């Protein structure tokens, strides 16, 4: 009775670990490390609402978008490579 539950439990644990690694894939990366955009732009001396502050926030958004695009492209390229080189 307990002999078959051991391998099933092990398989369930391994599957849970593998699926938990996939969930982190779709978290949005920050532009530069783990910095808060507001804190970074204010630390550069830009007053909240000023044109320089708005430009700083926009630049960080552009950097974040580019990082997401690069990561997606790398993932797609890796998948294509793995399909073409078995």
Give per-10-residue mean pLDDT for the chain (86 aa): 67 71 56 73 94 96 96 96 91
Cβ–Cβ < 8 Å for 71, 82: no
Q: How many helices (H) and strands (E) does the chain have?
A: 3, 0
pLDDT at residue 45, as a whole number: 94
pLDDT at residue 5, as a whole number: 72
The SS3 call for residue 36 is coil
pLDDT at residue 54, as a whole number: 96
pLDDT at residue 27, as a whole number: 58
Distance, CA of 62 to CA of 37 (rounded, Å): 12
pLDDT at residue 31, as a whole number: 46
pTM confidence score: 0.54
């Amino acid at each position: 009775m307990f002999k078959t539950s051991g391998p099933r439990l092990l398989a369930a644990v391994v599957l849970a670990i593998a699926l938990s690694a996939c969930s982190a894939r779709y978290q949005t990366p920050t532009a530069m490390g783990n910095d808060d955009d507001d804190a970074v732009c204010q630390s550069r001396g830009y007053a909240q609402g000023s044109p320089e502050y708005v430009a700083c926030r926009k630049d960080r958004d552009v950097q974040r978008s580019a990082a997401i695009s690069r990561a997606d492209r790398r993932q797609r390229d890796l998948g294509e490579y793995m399909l073409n080189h078995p």
